[in-house]
Amino acid sequence: MTEPKHLFIPGPTNIPDRVRRAMNLAMEDIRAPDFPELTKPLFHDLKTLFKSETGEIFLFPSSGTGAWEAALTNTLSPGDRVIVASFGQFSMLWAKMCRDLGFETEEWEIPWGEAFPLERLEERLAQPDAAGIKAVLVCQNETATGVASDVAGVRRILDAADHPALLMVDGISSIACIEFRMDEWGVDLAIAGSQKGLMLPTGLSVVCASRKALAASETAKCRRSYFDFAWHAGANKDGYFPYTPATQLLRGLRVSLDILAEEGIENVWTRHNRLAEGVRRAVRAWGLETCAARPEIASDTVTAVVVPEGIDSADVVRTAYHRYNTSFGVGLSKVAGRVFRIGHLGALDEVKILSGIAAAEIAMRDCGINLQAGSGVGAAIDYYRETAPAALAAAAE
Ligand SMILES: *Cc1c(COP(=O)(O)O)cnc(C)c1O
């Protein structure tokens, strides 16, 4: 029996040893005079990670879903009109939260496998009542379908229409993995969670708020308490929190931010793209399709593989789990039984992802999917060899 299981789910992701060891420590005084020596650099370095100079970081002891609520309730008022494009489990749940919180929610139901519809936004903003739209919500990386959306494109359309809506981005499965530029893209509220690209346990969420979002929070009328920006900002400015912070997670975050900075965030993005492309080549070699409708919108952090007619994708996931100690993501909601998901984000390299591709192959064969053993692994190997940094350097000589 292999312990722990091989994890190829799109969160929680594998935790590097260095991060895990950094969290194995005695409890510490959260009001100690030197506590800010830990926390202030965390706020600073998180801003760097989000590519923001002017934004403000809020750190909550919650899963990513809490940060959704923080972003919404701090900046909007009940009855405000919001636009949410819903094209997977996570964007759909964010829309549900908007309704739960009492916003006038325009949920655009887009086929699962598609991305945020830029043209539709353009058309919507041209309508006479568009002035009433207070926020546009974009799930940058829809983890249920493996689709990435064009956040910069949304900003361009808002700017072209000179529209003041807040741009909120769920970056929970994209920030620290794929390109994200808070300031350059004019994102007003960007959201991340600890157990995905940050390679930490679940339990820490991050919101980066723009100046415009902070200004909105001064007049927003939604009731809020636990997630109140002002309450946090008051304590954060001195390096403390309004209530007990999860100190182990903060110690782990220190090391995960160090690891990301050592590699360089642009290199982290490139690595995710390269590993992901290997997985996509494998899927093609198997003769299967991804849930992502087009290659341009395929996510670099998770690939949802569509299984052939007559096969239950949950069977593949169960087989991998029981026979091969490997976890893949199941198909959620509308795509249950039709897709299984290979998570390829966080602390991964070629060898690890190749073992995941191999586990998918063996489990799919066990479940009666007719594919050539080694075909996916072989395609990925060829791609990784062609694009290996050493191979590229040699070719340049
Ligand atoms: C995981 C995920 C969430 C939910 O985050 P939790 O930490 O489970 O609350 C939301 N959005 C996206 C895109 C995700 O991948």
- Ligand 1 lined by 69 (C-beta under 6 Å): no
- 83: CA distance to ligand 1 center in Å? 19
pTM recorded for the entire structure: 0.97
- 32: CA distance to ligand 1 center in Å? 33
- Ligand 1 lined by 64 (C-beta under 6 Å): yes
Q: Which of 294, 293, 289, 327 is nearest to 309 (CA)?
A: 289
Give one DSSP letter per residue of 210-232, joined into a string: -HHHHHHHHH-----STT-HHHH
Tell which atom from ligand 1 comes closest to the C-alpha of 143.
15
8 Å CB contact between 214 and 56? yes
pLDDT for the residue 354:
98
Q: Is 211 exposed, middle or buried (0-12, 13-18, 19+ CB in 10 A)?
A: exposed
- 222: CA distance to ligand 1 center in Å? 23
pLDDT for the residue 389:
80
Per-residue pLDDT of the chain (397 residues; tens, 9 = 90+): 567 889 999 999 999 999 999 999 999 999 999 999 999 999 999 999 999 999 999 999 999 999 999 999 999 999 999 999 999 999 999 999 999 999 999 999 999 999 999 999 999 999 999 999 999 999 999 999 999 999 999 999 999 999 999 999 999 999 999 999 999 999 999 999 999 999 999 999 999 999 999 999 999 999 999 999 999 999 999 999 999 999 999 999 999 999 999 999 999 999 999 999 999 999 999 999 999 999 999 999 999 999 999 999 999 999 999 999 999 999 999 999 999 999 999 999 999 999 999 999 999 999 999 999 999 999 999 999 999 987 667 776 6
pLDDT for the residue 90:
98
- Ligand 1 lined by 137 (C-beta under 6 Å): no
Q: Which of 355, 265, 333 is nearest to 112 (CA)?
A: 333
- 77: CA distance to ligand 1 center in Å? 24
Element (H, E) at 184: none
Name the residue of 60, 69, 90 to mutate for ligand 1: max ligand atoms within 8 A of Cβ: 90
Tell which atom from ligand 1 comes closest to the C-alpha of 173.
15
Tell which atom from ligand 1 comes closest to the C-alpha of 195.
7
- Ligand 1 lined by 277 (C-beta under 6 Å): no
pLDDT for the residue 392:
67
- 130: CA distance to ligand 1 center in Å? 29
